[in-house]
C-alpha cells in the first residue's frame, strides 16, 4: 500500500507540480494503534526516507501518546490532525480517549518536532449549552497552544452525524455513554443515519467562523461541514 501511495503521489506531482495528500487514518486511530503495533513509526520512517516520493501523509487522532513519533525523521512529509472537543463532551461521549489537556500538550510537542499540524473540532455536538462550551474550547486553544503552533495551524470543523449501527456498537462497548439522537434537532440522511437540520448547521457554521476569526485571525479554516 505504501508503495502504491508513493507511485500515485509521484504521478500526480509529475502532472500538476503539486504534492498530493494521502489520508492514512480512516479506519483506525493510528496513534492508539501504534502503541500496540508500532505500525505508524514504520510507516513514517519508510515513507519519509524515500528520496523519490513527492506526496504527504495525514491522519487524525484523539490520543496524546505521541512520544514515539517525535524523534522520527519525517522530513515535513506528515500532517497530524488532532481532534478536539470541550472537556464536558470528551468526558460524556469520547470515552476512553485522551483528555483535552493531553491533546493540547501533544499538539505543542508535535509542532516542536516540526510536524505539520491541523486541528479538527469534531464531532461538534449541539448540546444545550454548545455555544458556551465551544467558545471556551476555542479560547482555551488560543491560550494554551504555543506560538509555534499558532503561526500556521489550520482548522477543520465537522458536525456530528448519527448512525444507529455505530450507536449500538458503542452502547455495547460503553454502556454509560449518553444517547446523542435528538429528533427535534436532526433529520434523515439515509437509512438509519441522521444529521443536524439545515438551520442549525447554518447557525453552527456562522458561530465557528466568527469565533475562529476572533481567536485565530491569521489561520485558515479548511472546511466546516
Of the candidate ranges 1-10, 27-36, 184-193, the one whose mean pLDDT is the lowest: 1-10
Fold category of 61-224 in CATH: pyruvate-formate lyase- activating enzyme (3.80.30)
The per-residue pLDDT of the chain, averaged, comes to 92
H helical segments located in the chain = 2-16, 30-37, 39-48, 67-70, 87-92, 100-112, 130-144, 147-150, 164-173, 198-215
In the prediction, which pLDDT does 148 show?
A: 98
The tens digit of pLDDT for each residue in 157-211 reads 999 998 877 666 566 656 666 778 888 999 988 787 999 999 999 999 999 999 9
pLDDT in tens, 89-115: 999 899 899 999 999 999 999 999 999
Amino acid at each position: 500500500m505504501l508503495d502504491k501511495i508513493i507511485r500515485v503521489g509521484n504521478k500526480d506531482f509529475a502532472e500538476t507540480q503539486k504534492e498530493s495528500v494521502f489520508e492514512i487514518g480512516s479506519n483506525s486511530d493510528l496513534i492508539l494503534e501504534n502503541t500496540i503495533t508500532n505500525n505508524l513509526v514504520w510507516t513514517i520512517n519508510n515513507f519519509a526516507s524515500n528520496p523519490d516520493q513527492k506526496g504527504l501523509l495525514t491522519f487524525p487522532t484523539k490520543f496524546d501518546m505521541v512520544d514515539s513519533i517525535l524523534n522520527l525523521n519525517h522530513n515535513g512529509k506528515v500532517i497530524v490532525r488532532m481532534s478536539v472537543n470541550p472537556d464536558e463532551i470528551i468526558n460524556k461521549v469520547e470515552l476512553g480517549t485522551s483528555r483535552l489537556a493531553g491533546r493540547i500538550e501533544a499538539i505543542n510537542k508535535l509542532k516542536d518536532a516540526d510536524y505539520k499540524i491541523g486541528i479538527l473540532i469534531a464531532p461538534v455536538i449541539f448540546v444545550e449549552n454548545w455555544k458556551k462550551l465551544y467558545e471556551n474550547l476555542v479560547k482555551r486553544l488560543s491560550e494554551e497552544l504555543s506560538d509555534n503552533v499558532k503561526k500556521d495551524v489550520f482548522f477543520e470543523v465537522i458536525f456530528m452525524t448519527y448512525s444507529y449501527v455505530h450507536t449500538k456498537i458503542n452502547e455495547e462497548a460503553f454502556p454509560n455513554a449518553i444517547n446523542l439522537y435528538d429528533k427535534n434537532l436532526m433529520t434523515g440522511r439515509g437509512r438509519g443515519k441522521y444529521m443536524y437540520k439545515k438551520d442549525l448547521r447554518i447557525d453552527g457554521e456562522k458561530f465557528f467562523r466568527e469565533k475562529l476569526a476572533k481567536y485565530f485571525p491569521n489561520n485558515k479554516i479548511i472546511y466546516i461541514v
